[in-house]
């Protein structure tokens, strides 16, 4: 069986996010109600399960091929792209003015999740179109918008983001690609970039590269970086594709996973004939990049959710079919009957469910920031999103790796064999903790920018919200365990993370454990809230809602203590990191 959207989970969690963030009160969203959300989820599932999922393994096995500057995508990619484009999915959450559908994020999020689960390697272009369009919308001149946006939103052309260079990865300030001003106001682009997803491919007529480069008199470091729109083919007056713009793909990477997505090395301006146009102001390229980055990090967190769900579906099915060992009565049983296998499946189930809830809540918060007139509500939502972004990105992707490992463990020896397809999930997940900012980068962002620079405001508000929910809930083990963890977290903030005397190098050494603790506590909080809602709705569907309560119990017993252990690590004064000499 290939992927099927977890329809019921999605429907219910979308509804919960919609209600929690009170999206029903926003006038601009009146046309985008839950009925529409359900209709769209339903149709997207048909596409994800019917078209994208069957290609996932094809992409993994075949990979992309590179020859003589050309990239050939795997069998079926091109057709699937045409279908995806013609069905209008690329413009899902992009403005109607440029041919999009302008859907709110809370509806786009479950749709994106389905794409990510069913074929992550394939749909990388969709996030690039979304992010690229948002950059152009916010920063580009009307002329550039007119030239590119409709083409991108409708999927006629794709977007590539050219940031990384061999010596400028996480440290973008070190990049050296040049942009030399020309008399006509354009720039000549010259340099080498690597790790460019869909930087070259055979699915669309033109590729719009958004390139970070340095003008000759720009200040050193990250303050001297500007952003340029550089199309593969120059655009004629009438909007058609014209002359080749001196952009060459020099190779694609052989990667651990995501084989179907071409990761390109690109050479710009080998013949001094690569023309780019400035997006926004000079030397403010990184600012534009941050818009994309936040978006990309949230989308990356959803990749964690999507891959965890895929791993769960595969492992669950296998565990019901594989007969091995005996139950208490001596009869041979399917392995799902073994408590330890059930434990692993519940790891997958509880974590993906909680993270999905968190991801949908964040999407609904983005809708508040984009659609609400209430300034205070917008500010509060912005702060909450800023705080949750590194937690969601870091934790969801770390978990996806761990959970893919659990799923393989459920398969036993067959999990180590490629033909079952479960190993692909692990290999595809591996990059998610690395790209769009490693977990280490996320943890530093969390500790320093989002907590210390903020003087603990946003995180205090988050803890207060958790405590309000705990206070409203009946006293049970789930809430008791969560309450203890929240108290411990508050204490760690006081004594360590927010302490004015904190040793910053020490903090960096425990930042990832701290991020993991935050992630675990946020997930336990989601499940505790959901369990309370489930209790209220139990009469409607005893099995589903009873299961939600069981998930909250499971999580608070098995996973929350791991978060608390990580908090203990954060406060240990002698941890050996400083002392050891490599």
Partner 1 sequence: MKVLVGVKRVIDYNVKVRVKSDNTDVDLSNTKMAINPFCEIAVEEAIRLKEAGVATEVIAVSVGTSASQEQLRTAMALGADRAILVESEDGAEPLNVAKAFAKIMEQEEVGLVILGKQSIDSDNNQVGQMLAALTKRPQGTFASKVAVDGNSVSVTREIDGGLRTVKLELPAIVTTDLRLNEPRFAKLPDIMKAKRKPLETKTFADLGVEAKQHIQLDKVEAPAARQGGVKVGSVDELIQKLKDEAKVI
Provide the minimum distance between the beta carbon of 35 and partner 1 in the complex, in angstroms, as a whole number: 8
Whole-angstrom CA distances from 291 to 89, 141, 286, 298, 362 are 22, 17, 9, 11, 16
- The rounded Cα 13 to chain-centroid distance in angstroms is 18
Provide the minimum distance between the beta carbon of 344 and partner 1 in the complex, in angstroms, as a whole number: 23
Q: Which stretch binds partner 1 (CB under 8 A): 44-52, 53-61, 141-149, 391-399?
A: 44-52
Q: Which stretch binds partner 1 (CB under 8 A): 39-47, 252-260, 284-292, 429-437?
A: 39-47
- Closest to partner 1 by CB, 184 vs 329, is 329
Q: Is 30 in the site for partner 1 (CB under 8 A)?
A: no
**Per-residue binding letters, 515-544, with partner 1 (x by CB under 8 A):** -------------------------xx--x
* Position among 51, 296, 388, 489 found at the interface with partner 1 (CB under 8 A): 51
Q: How many CB atoms lie within 10 A of CB 455?
A: 10
First to last CA, the chain: 49
Q: How many CB atoms lie within 10 A of CB 18?
A: 24
Provide the minimum distance between the beta carbon of 87 and partner 1 in the complex, in angstroms, as a whole number: 5
Identify whether the C-beta of residue 482 lies closer than 8 Å to the C-beta of residue 465.
no
CA count, 13 A, side-chain hemisphere, 449: 13
Q: Is 42 in the site for partner 1 (CB under 8 A)?
A: yes
Residue 97 CA to residue 149 CA, distance in Å, equals 9
Question: Closest by alpha carbon to 305, among 421, 422, 431, 392?
Answer: 392
Q: Which of 134, 309, 337, 436 is catalytic?
A: 436
- Closest to partner 1 by CB, 89 vs 318, is 89
Question: Closest by alpha carbon to 364, among 109, 42, 88?
Answer: 109
Q: Is 4 in the site for partner 1 (CB under 8 A)?
A: yes
Element (H, E) at 213: strand 206-213
- Closest to partner 1 by CB, 50 vs 239, is 50
Identify whether the C-beta of residue 485 lies closer than 8 Å to the C-beta of residue 563.
yes
- Closest to partner 1 by CB, 48 vs 532, is 48
Q: Is 115 in the site for partner 1 (CB under 8 A)?
A: no
- Closest to partner 1 by CB, 154 vs 352, is 154
- Closest to partner 1 by CB, 83 vs 476, is 83
Q: Is 86 in the site for partner 1 (CB under 8 A)?
A: yes
* Position among 54, 62, 78, 88 found at the interface with partner 1 (CB under 8 A): 88
Question: Closest by alpha carbon to 156, among 205, 227, 97, 201?
Answer: 205
* Position among 7, 233, 244, 558 found at the interface with partner 1 (CB under 8 A): 7
DSSP 523-556: HHHHHHHHHHHHHHHGGG-HHHHHHHHHHHHHII
DSSP 294-309: HHHHHHHHHHHHHHHH
- Closest to partner 1 by CB, 115 vs 525, is 115
CA count, 13 A, side-chain hemisphere, 282: 13
* Position among 13, 29, 92, 235 found at the interface with partner 1 (CB under 8 A): 92
Q: Is 101 in the site for partner 1 (CB under 8 A)?
A: yes
Q: Which stretch binds partner 1 (CB under 8 A): 31-39, 215-223, 354-362, 516-524?
A: 31-39
Provide the minimum distance between the beta carbon of 43 and partner 1 in the complex, in angstroms, as a whole number: 5
Q: Which residues contact 178 (CB under 8 A, 6 or more apart)?
A: 188, 189, 190, 191, 213, 214, 215, 216
* Position among 39, 504, 562, 565 found at the interface with partner 1 (CB under 8 A): 39
Question: Closest by alpha carbon to 213, among 320, 286, 128, 317?
Answer: 286
Q: Which residues contact 304 (CB under 8 A, 6 or more apart)?
A: 355, 393, 395, 396, 397, 398, 399, 400, 429, 432
Provide the minimum distance between the beta carbon of 316 and partner 1 in the complex, in angstroms, as a whole number: 13
Q: Which stretch binds partner 1 (CB under 8 A): 34-42, 257-265, 391-399, 454-462?
A: 34-42
Question: Closest by alpha carbon to 248, among 263, 237, 232, 272?
Answer: 232
- Closest to partner 1 by CB, 50 vs 325, is 50
- Closest to partner 1 by CB, 80 vs 136, is 80
* Position among 28, 38, 483, 547 found at the interface with partner 1 (CB under 8 A): 38
DSSP 97-166: GGT-----HHHHHHHHHHHHHHHHHHHHHHHHHHHHHHHHHHHS-HHHHHHHHHHHHTTSEEEEEE--BT
Identify whether the C-beta of residue 117 lies closer than 8 Å to the C-beta of residue 111.
no
Q: Is 47 in the site for partner 1 (CB under 8 A)?
A: yes
Q: Is 89 in the site for partner 1 (CB under 8 A)?
A: yes
Provide the minimum distance between the beta carbon of 548 and partner 1 in the complex, in angstroms, as a whole number: 13
Q: Is 87 in the site for partner 1 (CB under 8 A)?
A: yes
Q: Is 15 in the site for partner 1 (CB under 8 A)?
A: no
Q: Is 91 in the site for partner 1 (CB under 8 A)?
A: yes
Q: Is 165 a catalytic residue?
A: no
Q: Is 40 in the site for partner 1 (CB under 8 A)?
A: yes
Provide the minimum distance between the beta carbon of 11 and partner 1 in the complex, in angstroms, as a whole number: 9
Q: Which residues contact 229 (CB under 8 A, 6 or more apart)?
A: 136, 140, 144, 148, 208, 209, 210, 211, 276, 277, 279
Residue the block writes with tokens 């988050």: 462
Q: Catalogue the active-site residues.
A: 436
List residues near partner 1 by CB under 8 A. Answer: 4, 7-8, 31, 35-36, 38-40, 42-43, 46-47, 50-51, 83, 86-89, 91-92, 101, 540-541, 544
């Amino acid at each position: 069986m290939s992927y099927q959207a977890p329809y019921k989970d999605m429907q219910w969690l979308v509804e919960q996010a919609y209600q929690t963030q009170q999206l029903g009160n926003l006038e601009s969203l009146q046309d985008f109600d839950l009925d529409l959300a359900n209709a769209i989820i339903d149709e997207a599932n048909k596409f994800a399960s019917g078209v994208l999922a069957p290609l996932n393994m094809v992409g993994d096995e075949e990979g992309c091929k590179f020859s003589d500057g050309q990239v050939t995508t795997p069998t079926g990619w091109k057709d699937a792209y045409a279908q995806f484009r013609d069905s209008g999915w690329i413009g899902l959450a992009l403005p109607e003015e440029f041919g999009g559908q302008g859907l709110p994020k809370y509806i786009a999020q479950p749709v994106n999740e389905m794409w990510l689960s069913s074929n992550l390697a394939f749909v990388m272009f969709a996030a690039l179109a979304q992010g690229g369009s948002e950059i152009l919308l916010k920063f580009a001149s009307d002329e550039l918008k007119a030239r590119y946006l409709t083409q991108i939103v409708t999927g006629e052309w794709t977007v590539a983001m050219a940031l990384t260079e061999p010596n400028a990865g996480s440290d973008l300030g070190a990049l050296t690609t040049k942009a030399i001003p020309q008399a006509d106001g354009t720039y000549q682009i010259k340099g080498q970039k690597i790790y460019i997803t869909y930087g070259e491919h055979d699915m669309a007529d033109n590729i719009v590269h958004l390139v970070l480069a340095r003008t000759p008199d720009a200040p050193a470091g990250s303050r001297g970086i500007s952003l340029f729109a550089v199309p593969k083919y120059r655009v004629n007056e009438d909007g058609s594709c014209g002359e080749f713009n001196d952009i060459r793909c020099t190779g694609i990477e052989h990667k651990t996973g995501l084989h179907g997505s071409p990761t390109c090395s690109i050479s710009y301006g080998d013949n001094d004939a690569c023309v780019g146009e400035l997006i926004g102001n000079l030397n403010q390229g990184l600012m534009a990049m941050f818009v994309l980055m936040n978006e990309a990090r949230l989308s990356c967190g959803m990749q964690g959710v999507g891959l965890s769900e895929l791993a769960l579906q595969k492992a669950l099915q296998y565990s019901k079919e594989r007969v091995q060992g005996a139950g208490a009565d001596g009869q041979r049983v399917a392995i799902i009957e073994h408590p330890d296998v059930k434990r692993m499946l519940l790891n997958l189930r509880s974590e993906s469910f909680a993270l999905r809830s968190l991801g949908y809540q964040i999407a609904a918060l983005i809708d508040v920031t984009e659609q609400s007139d209430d300034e205070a509500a917008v500010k509060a939502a912005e702060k909450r999103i800023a705080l949750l972004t590194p937690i969601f990105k870091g934790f969801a992707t770390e978990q996806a790796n761990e959970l893919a490992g659990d799923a393989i463990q459920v398969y036993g020896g067959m999990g180590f064999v490629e033909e079952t397809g479960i190993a692909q999930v692990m290999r595809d997940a591996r990059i998610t903790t690395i790209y769009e900012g490693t977990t280490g980068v996320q943890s530093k962002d969390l500790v320093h920018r989002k907590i210390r620079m903020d003087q603990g405001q946003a995180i205090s508000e988050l803890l207060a919200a958790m405590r309000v929910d705990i206070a409203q809930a009946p006293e049970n083990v789930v809430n008791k365990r969560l309450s203890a963890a929240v108290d411990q977290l508050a204490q760690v903030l006081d004594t360590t993370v927010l302490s004015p005397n904190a040793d910053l190098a020490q903090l960096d050494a425990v930042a990832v454990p701290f991020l993991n603790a935050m992630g675990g506590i946020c997930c336990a909080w989601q499940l505790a809230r959901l369990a309370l809602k489930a209790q209220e709705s139990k009469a409607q569907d005893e099995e589903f809602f009873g299961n939600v309560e069981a998930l909250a119990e499971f999580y608070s017993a098995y996973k929350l203590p791991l978060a608390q252990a990580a908090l203990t690590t954060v406060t240990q004064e002698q941890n050996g990191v400083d002392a050891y000499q490599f």
